[in-house]
Amino acid sequence: MQVTELEPTFVNLTEMTLKRPEDVRAVVKDEPSQPRAVLNLLLLGLAGISLYSAVFTAIAALAPRVDWMPPVALADPSAARPLLTYSIGMVGALGICLPSFYFYGLLAGVRASMLQVAAISLHALARTGVILMGLLPVYVAAILGMVVLGATEGLAYEALLMAGVLLPFLAGLSSLPVCYRGFLDLIETLPEARAAGRAPMVRLLALAWAALYTTVAPVTLWAVKTQLEKIL
Amino acid sequence: MEGTLLLYVLIGLAVGAALSIRDPRRAILWLTLGVLFWPLFLPLLFSPRTPAPKPPRKDLSALRDEVARLDPPLPELVAALDAADRIREGKDELGRLLETQQAALAQDEPALAKSERTREVLEARRADLERLRAVRDEQEERHLRLTAQVREAITKAHLARFSAPARQELRKHLLRLSDELSLLNPNHPG
């Protein structure tokens, strides 16, 4: 392991998120690295979500429309709606949930600072971004395949578009183990006798995080979308 | 809704500006992201800018005072504290060496990674760093264990005034401590 590879730069964090999540956890735990890690993890998460939503916008604008999907045209400002809705909504939901995450952590007996909780949450967001970037080619290929084969009338096409709408959200939930591991790491800093007793609480904590984020994220996305419809 | 949005943006501007002042090299980035996502960055403002300096180590001098107040005096504890002091000095020295070596390696890494021959040197230096780190951690652990044992002995010495089993317990504890000290320093009388 190169010493310079552990610096929380954007490139290093991208590589660590892909190949060595344990190193991201080490960076997140390291107090002097936290400010840079927070910024770069947010940028990484935003990059993935923005890329996905930009491509999804193009798909929504160019592929045959379905009734339930709001109209999007690349030529007018409405094209920015999905991009901004996902980017602002997903990160905004995290911002709303952050104080609760912190207090849940305290309730579970974990000795964590607010910044550390923010860093752990943003690690999960960065992972979401990376997962979305990974899924994107597969999704585009599936949609293109349906369009080329002319199978855009059936239920499968609608289901695929719906999957596209929900994918960032599902990717967000799949990042939950990151939060779980992050909090387990914090528990390891407690004395052994207490740590053993706290482990089940961390599982509950992860569940509470998931439940909270699952509730807040769609509401935030909806609120951002409604406001953007007024502006754009 | 406009009022809420305005409030959000105003707070965001304040947070963004504060973060820009903290890190002027990325001022524009902080300002942009700060305005949009200030709830995530708010904790940054309350975190110390540089790692807080470690508090002066008073634990050993406080422990020495406590040991000196014990009646009857327990020379094993004084010897243990002396040993803990020596271990800490060694550990601090190793820590400084490790920092210097890490910085030097970080600087040399790009050049050393270029050819096969220099890569071997790089690997050897990394292995040396790992060994240094392991020895430092071991010393840290040893220091903690010794001071914890002294603390435990002080408690037992106080309890020993009240019961025979506690006195026996203290004797056993001091024997164990002496054994450990003789392992650390073969010249130790224990």
- Residues B171, B84 contacting (CB under 8 angstroms): no
Looking at the fold, whether B138 and B178 belong to one and the same domain comes out as yes
Query: Using one digit for the tens of pLDDT, what is the confidence trace for B146-164?
Result: 888 888 888 888 888 888 8
For residues B154 and B163, give the distance between their C-alpha atoms in angstroms, rounded to a whole number. 15
For residues A80 and A157, give the distance between their C-alpha atoms in angstroms, rounded to a whole number. 23
Mean pLDDT over A29-49 rounds to: 89
Looking at the fold, whether B65 and B34 belong to one and the same domain comes out as no
* Residue B189 pLDDT exceeds 60: no
The rounded mean pLDDT for chain B is 83
Q: Among candidates A9, A15, A126, A19, which has minimal Cα distance to B106?
A: A9
| Contact yes or no for B40 and A35 at CB 8 A | no
For residues B164 and B167, give the distance between their C-alpha atoms in angstroms, rounded to a whole number. 5
Question: Which amino acid type is present at position B159?
Answer: L
Q: What pLDDT score was predicted for residue B56?
A: 45
Query: Using one digit for the tens of pLDDT, what is the confidence trace for A171-195?
Result: 888 887 888 788 777 777 666 667 7
Number of Cβ atoms within 10 Å of the Cβ of A82: 26
* Residue B54 pLDDT exceeds 60: no
Q: In chain A, which residues have their Cβ closer than 8 Å to the Cβ of B110?
A: 4
Q: B10 is in which domain, residue-wise? A: 2-45
For residues A211 and A213, give the distance between their C-alpha atoms in angstroms, rounded to a whole number. 6
Looking at the fold, whether B16 and B73 belong to one and the same domain comes out as no
Domains in chain A: how many in total? 1
Which of A44-58, A128-142, B111-125 has the lowest average pLDDT?
Answer: B111-125
ipTM of this complex: 0.79
Domains in chain B: how many in total? 2
Looking at the fold, whether B34 and B95 belong to one and the same domain comes out as no
Please, what is the Cα angle at B155 between B151 and B158, to 5 degrees? 140
* DSSP secondary structure string for all residues of B47-58: S-SSPPPPPP--
Looking at the fold, whether B129 and B63 belong to one and the same domain comes out as yes
B125: pLDDT confidence band, cut at 50, 70 and 90? confident
A1: pLDDT confidence band, cut at 50, 70 and 90? very low
Q: How far apart are the first and last CA of chain B?
A: 77
DSSP letter for A206, please: H
Looking at the fold, whether B103 and B15 belong to one and the same domain comes out as no
Would you say residue B53 lies in a domain?
A: no
Looking at the fold, whether B28 and B92 belong to one and the same domain comes out as no
Non-local (6+) Cβ contacts of B165 within 8 A are: none
Looking at the fold, whether B81 and B162 belong to one and the same domain comes out as yes
Which of A32-36, A166-170, A179-183 has the lowest average pLDDT?
Answer: A179-183
Would you say residue B64 lies in a domain?
A: yes
Q: A145 is in which domain, residue-wise? A: 4-231
- Residues A160, A72 contacting (CB under 8 angstroms): no
Non-local (6+) Cβ contacts of A92 within 8 A are: A220, A224, B37
Would you say residue B190 lies in a domain?
A: no
Chain B stretch 119-148, residues whose beta carbon is closer than 8 A to a beta carbon of chain A:
126, 129
B123: pLDDT confidence band, cut at 50, 70 and 90? confident
Instruction: State the best of A1, A2, A3 to mutate against chain B, taking most chain B CBs within 10 Å.
Output: A3
| Contact yes or no for B43 and A42 at CB 8 A | no
| A64 phi, psi to nearest 5 deg | -55, 140
Query: Using one digit for the tens of pLDDT, what is the confidence trace for B16-42?
Result: 999 888 888 888 888 888 888 888 888
Q: What pLDDT score was predicted for residue B52?
A: 47
* Residue A23 pLDDT exceeds 90: no
